[in-house]
Structure 1
């Protein structure tokens, strides 16, 4: 019990909560740039529309190196806070608390990976999201039962995408924030709905491409978020769909900026 109290005290500490909010700001900037890159891909067919491309763009902004370091620290702090929430849910008799704990753990892992990617750019290196995804898929396929494992990962990613779309449609994201009242509530709700739906679509397409890579035993089919967004271009009215997704990702970025202030930490 003393260990649990110690972990809880770290999560409740003011510095960690402030840095976690900084992490939301960093995540917001990344999603804003992702949306812009997605629209550029729809217009030109070129560019890298994933987290690596967004971080590269962030580094090119005035004060970019400082922004990258602040974003890196914030993302790691947000991952730490979420990991603490996951740990605090372990051992609970409440099924709902267990589910929240698992979700928090998954989010912590995602922000940890994003923070590590941001750190790479802050240190002056670079990364290609598509090639990294292909290499990871090839490594998984080389494992015993790797085809099944990659397929399950793809199904899991697609399920996350569906969950995000559902969360947006049902406005469940309002449970994560101290929703404002009055005239400011409606814009926050609209941004959250549009943003979660757009992000869910993008994540679901990533999952589908992973499943295709597993079925065909072709890791080149797994191209991460960049490949997922570019795959949308090949659909009927693909550029229009991708522009809509890009606008949605921008909306998610603006919502996440609001969440940095409103999040229940």
Structure 2
């Protein structure tokens, strides 16, 4: 992996720092849902932004968080444009990964925009219905059902990529190993594996919701993070499953903190 200019590293570090805050707070909200009456409707990115804003100097902190998310968006687009991961453009899998990096940037741009709406006091719709609303809008078109199905399959593929990372630990290739002590490497590997597993579980459920919505031509079957957590809660040992996912999200946030400091760019 070729090293990029210093400013690129700064942008990437700011982005991963913002992801650290997002995942740690989401994980804590999920853990609160598992051990108390704190409802899963609070486990949304919008609620993270609102919680940050409600703190002392909250507007300043939220502004910094939004800037970090914008930096992560730019970093994802730079990864795609500059091929920072040294992807082989004659390899179909690597081509798909490069496209994914760009799409990931688009998604995080949406998250940053949501944070900006909270910062400015603009009212947003309930987070739980956003997936249903988007699916219903897409299904109004002739090709909408196929597109919703394609979204579901794409999310499922992404979920299994998370499980692959968790199983192989291949994400460790991204790090500057000479700057990490043996204990830090062990912590990074453990946090990454558990964090990727938790993300994989959630993405399997979300991808399944979209696939079912397309199969049944029913937008109400689509769902996002809230619906995934509610589904986990309804299972046997649901509270334990919910707590495990929450802990996994916190650990993924810790993993992102190591990325912010030690990732090769």
Residue in structure 1 matching 2:37, options 44, 64, 72: 44
How many residues are aligned here? 255
Mapped contact 1:169–1:193 kept (Cα < 8 A): yes
Q: Which has the higher contact order (CA 8 A, sep 6+)?
A: 2
Q: Counterpart of 2:21?
A: 29
Q: Aligned runs of 1:154-173 on 2, under 5 Å?
A: 154-173=152-171
Inter-partner Cα distance in structure 2 for 1:91 and 1:261: 23
Inter-partner Cα distance in structure 1 for 2:56 and 2:164: 37
Q: What's the secondary structure of 2:42's corresponding residue? A: coil
Q: Aligned runs of 1:181-196 on 2, under 5 Å?
A: 181-196=181-196
In the alignment, structure 2 segments of 5+ residues that lack a partner are none
Residue in structure 1 matching 2:108, options 108, 111, 118: 111
TM-score, scaled to structure 1: 0.87
Inter-partner Cα distance in structure 2 for 1:40 and 1:142: 38
Deviation at 1:13, TM superposition (A): 4.7
TM-score, scaled to structure 2: 0.87
Q: What's the secondary structure of 1:44's corresponding residue? A: coil
Q: 1:91 to 1:174 in 2, by over 3 A?
A: closer
Mapped contact 1:33–1:57 kept (Cα < 8 A): no
In the alignment, structure 1 segments of 5+ residues that lack a partner are 1-10
What whole-Å deviation, never above 9, does each CA across 1:15-60 have from its counterpart, x for those lacking one?
A: 4432331121111111111111112223326132122222222222
Q: 1:107 to 1:175 in 2, by over 3 A?
A: farther
Deviation at 1:82, TM superposition (A): 1.8
What whole-Å deviation, never above 9, does each CA across 1:77-107 have from its counterpart, x for those lacking one?
A: 2211221221234996542653442232232
Q: Counterpart of 2:51?
A: 57
Deviation at 1:158, TM superposition (A): 1.5
Deviation at 1:111, TM superposition (A): 1.9
Inter-partner Cα distance in structure 2 for 1:25 and 1:256: 7
RMSD: 2.3
Q: Is 2:124 the counterpart of 1:132? A: no
Deviation at 1:205, TM superposition (A): 0.9
